[in-house]
Amino acid sequence: SSIAPGYALDLIGEYLEAQGIGDYLVEVGGELRGRGSRPGGSAWHVAIQRPLDNDSADGSITPQHVIGLRDAALGSSGDYRHFFEAGGRRYAHRIDPRSGWPLDNGVASVTVMAPLGIDADALATALSVLGVDAGLEYAGRRGVAALFILRKGEGFEERMTPTFAALLAR
């Protein structure tokens, strides 16, 4: 389902707009699409979750970033929810089509903001397969807003495109 949730977001959004609803926030499988604004006129505030095992018993999570989502979609792909371990290594549930093996490139998550859900979802998946260096180069050349969270020893490191950094500066 690499692009199914993003595509579903777009279909739901089209339906809502056909019903005359111009302000909404929709979530399908962790992917988000926001149109218009919240009551009061501000953008929809959404959190990008830290890829840690930090889901608490009360359901609260620690956000990595909170950004405003207006007339755009967020798609994420990563290995922190769906993975397996073998031989002391962690493998993502995604397969690298270049090798035929599960991803093992240190990318914990990639989040992409794009105008459509299908684009955000597909790009997040593609960038996670490409890995941080090739993914940042690809996204940077195309002006894609992308945030990479990488596994570094026992912790994490962030890398992002200038377009994504500009979203955080708002």
| pLDDT of the chain, 170 residues: tens digit per residue | 678 999 999 999 999 999 999 999 999 988 999 999 999 999 999 988 776 644 444 555 566 788 999 999 999 988 766 677 778 776 777 778 888 878 788 888 999 999 999 999 999 999 999 999 999 999 999 999 999 999 888 888 999 999 999 998 77
Q: Is the dihedral of CA 102, 105, 109, 114 positive or negative?
A: negative
Reduced 3-state DSSP string for 16-72: HHHCCCCCEEEEECCEEEEECCCCCCCCEEEEEECCCCCCCCCCCCCEEEEEEECCE
What CA–CA distance (Å, rounded) separates 25 from 155?
32
- Backbone φ and ψ of 35, nearest 5°: -130, 150
b/e per residue 131-168 (b: at least 16 CB within 10 A): bbeebbebbeeeebbbbbbbbeeeebeebbbebbeebe
Domain boundaries, the chain: 4-169
- State the first-to-last Cα distance of the chain, in angstroms, to the nearest integer: 32
Q: Within 10 Å of residue 122's Cβ, how many Cβ atoms?
A: 19
Beta carbons of 31 and 75 less than 8 angstroms apart: yes
* pLDDT number for residue 56: 44
Which amino acid belongs to residue 55? D
Beta carbons of 135 and 127 less than 8 angstroms apart: yes
* pLDDT number for residue 94: 77
* pLDDT number for residue 63: 65
CATH 3.10.520.10 is right for the domain spanning 4-169: yes
Whole-angstrom CA distances from 70 to 31, 114, 137, 151, 156 are 14, 11, 26, 30, 28
